């Protein structure tokens, strides 16, 4: 319900995001690389639009405007397929966008809302390979993304779920660690960059866990802990609600006031745990040791690795991209928050003077 809600303040924020996109450099035509080849041929690789981008997304009507603005700025047309729960909001927003396009002398059909509220339209989009859609970008829950990836014949840029981790190292500033943990988990738990697992080095667990558990309890967070975490809570007489963690907990993107928590014997054990259970979205480490931070950033294989900072910064707006079309957790073409450059492809321009091979 929160994601669906539009207020005057939220509409103003959506408009502000569009203004931010306006100020960004136009990626189309940018020379990615170029050189003069030995024979005198001039070679340039330049950015070009992807073409027609289909966006399939859940709930949030702000995505409607973000996607339209980013696709227009990068020279693409966009077909928008939001959820039925936001259909009237999306219809109203797209009408505003299309009126603005007409007023600017641009083709109104560059932004279209796929008609209808049923699932048939989603199937049509996924089967439109070679017809009207060049690429599909699903943005939403795990089931939506999985359905599009598995059933689409159109190329898909996969935006992934966020099973994000905060690792508190043996040499961490405890005050900083508590603040980062709370912000990562409780500032807005229903988003993909919220932390879902806390890992604590065993050497600091006795000092850190009582403080962390009390802070999480005050924030209303339920902890799903391993044996060491549950024992620490019992010894400290913590007010936190701590249940037993299972493999399902380690694998879960809660999107709620819940967090899995465990104690690990080493940095490498934390990295191994993340490698097994992470969705590849965002991992954070809290440490005062530069060498430890460097090793963590090298070995944690996710789109974003934060050192002494909240997982909540993995966001196109926070990264200065104006907005984002989604956060890609795949490794091909685009990875991480997708801004304007990620909505382009490239082509090579070869310029000669009668050159033949």
Name the band, by pLDDT with cuts 50, 70 and 90, for residue 199: very high
Tell me what pLDDT residue 239 has. 78
Tell me what pLDDT residue 74 has. 96
Give ranges for CATH 3.40.309.10 in the chain: 164-313
Q: Does the structure show a pLDDT above 80 at 118?
A: no
Contact predicate 87/354, CB 8 Å? no
230: tokens are 């549950």
Q: Does the structure show a pLDDT above 90 at 25?
A: yes
Name the band, by pLDDT with cuts 50, 70 and 90, for residue 119: confident
Alpha-carbon gap, residue 33 to 350, rounded angstroms:
12
Alpha-carbon gap, residue 328 to 303, rounded angstroms:
8
- % residues pLDDT > 70 (the chain): 100
Closest by Cα among 202, 179, 159, 197 to 336: 159
Location of structure tokens 């043996």 = 170
Tell me what pLDDT residue 260 has. 98
Alpha-carbon gap, residue 53 to 79, rounded angstroms:
6
Strand 42-49 relative to strand 52-57: parallel, antiparallel, unpaired? unpaired
Alpha-carbon gap, residue 116 to 316, rounded angstroms:
30
Q: Does the structure show a pLDDT above 80 at 313?
A: yes
Alpha-carbon gap, residue 125 to 132, rounded angstroms:
9
Give ranges for CATH 3.40.605.10 in the chain: 8-159+338-351
**b/e map 303-342, b = 16+ CB within 10 Å:** bbbbeebbbbbbbbbeeebbbbbbbbbeeeebbbbbbbbb
| CATH class belonging to 164-313 | alpha beta
Tell me what pLDDT residue 281 has. 96
Closest by Cα among 313, 314, 304, 340 to 325: 340
Cβ contacts of 193 within 8 Å, gap of 6 or more:
162, 164, 281, 282, 311, 312, 313, 314, 315, 327
Mean pLDDT, to the nearest integer, of 202-225?
A: 96
Name the band, by pLDDT with cuts 50, 70 and 90, for residue 128: confident
Q: Any alpha helices (H) in the chain, and if so which ranges?
A: 8-23, 62-73, 87-103, 120-126, 142-151, 174-186, 202-218, 227-236, 247-251, 267-277, 290-299
Match domain 8-159+338-351 to its CATH number in 3.30.1490.20, 3.40.605.10, 3.40.50.300, 3.20.20.120.
3.40.605.10
Name the band, by pLDDT with cuts 50, 70 and 90, for residue 287: very high
**Burial of 162 (C-beta count, 10 Å sphere; 0-12/13-18/19+):** buried
Mean pLDDT (the chain) is: 94
Cβ contacts of 88 within 8 Å, gap of 6 or more:
none
197: tokens are 């697992």
């Amino acid at each position: 319900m929160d994601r669906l809600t539009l207020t005057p303040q939220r509409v103003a924020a959506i408009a502000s995001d569009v203004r931010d996109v306006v100020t960004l450099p136009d990626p189309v035509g940018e020379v990615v690389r170029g050189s003069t080849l030995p024979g005198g041929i001039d070679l340039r690789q330049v950015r070009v639009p992807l073409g027609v981008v289909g966006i399939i997304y859940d709930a949030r009507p702000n995505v409607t405007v973000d996607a339209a603005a980013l696709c227009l700025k990068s020279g693409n047309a966009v077909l928008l397929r939001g959820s039925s729960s936001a259909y009237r909001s999306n219809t109203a927003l797209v009408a505003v966008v299309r009126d603005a396009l007409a007023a600017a002398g641009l083709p109104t059909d560059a932004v279209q809302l796929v008609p209808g509220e049923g699932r048939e339209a989603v199937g049509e989009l996924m089967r439109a390979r070679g017809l009207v859609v060049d690429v599909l970008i699903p943005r939403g829950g795990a089931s939506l993304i999985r359905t599009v990836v598995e059933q689409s014949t159109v190329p898909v840029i996969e935006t992934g779920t966020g099973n994000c981790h905060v690792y508190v190292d043996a040499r961490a500033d405890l005050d900083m660690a508590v603040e980062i943990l709370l912000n990562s988990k409780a500032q807005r738990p229903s988003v993909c960059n919220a932390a879902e697992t806390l890992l604590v080095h065993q050497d600091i667990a006795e000092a850190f866990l009582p403080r962390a558990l009390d802070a999480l309890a005050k924030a209303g967070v339920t902890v799903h802990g391993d044996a060491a975490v549950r024992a620490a809570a019992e010894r400290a007489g913590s007010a936190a609600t701590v249940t037993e963690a299972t493999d399902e907990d380690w694998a879960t993107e809660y999107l709620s006031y819940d967090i899995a928590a465990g104690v690990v014997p080493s940095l490498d054990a934390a990295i191994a745990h993340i490698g097994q259970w992470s969705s590849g979205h965002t991992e954070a480490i809290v440490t005062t040791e530069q060498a430890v931070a460097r090793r963590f950033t090298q070995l944690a294989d996710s789109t974003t690795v934060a050192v002494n900072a909240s997982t909540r910064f993995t966001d196109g707006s926070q990264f200065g991209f104006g907005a984002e079309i989604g956060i890609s957790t795949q490794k091909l073409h685009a990875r991480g928050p997708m801004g304007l450059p990620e909505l382009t492809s490239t082509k090579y321009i070869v310029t000669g003077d009668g050159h033949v091979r």
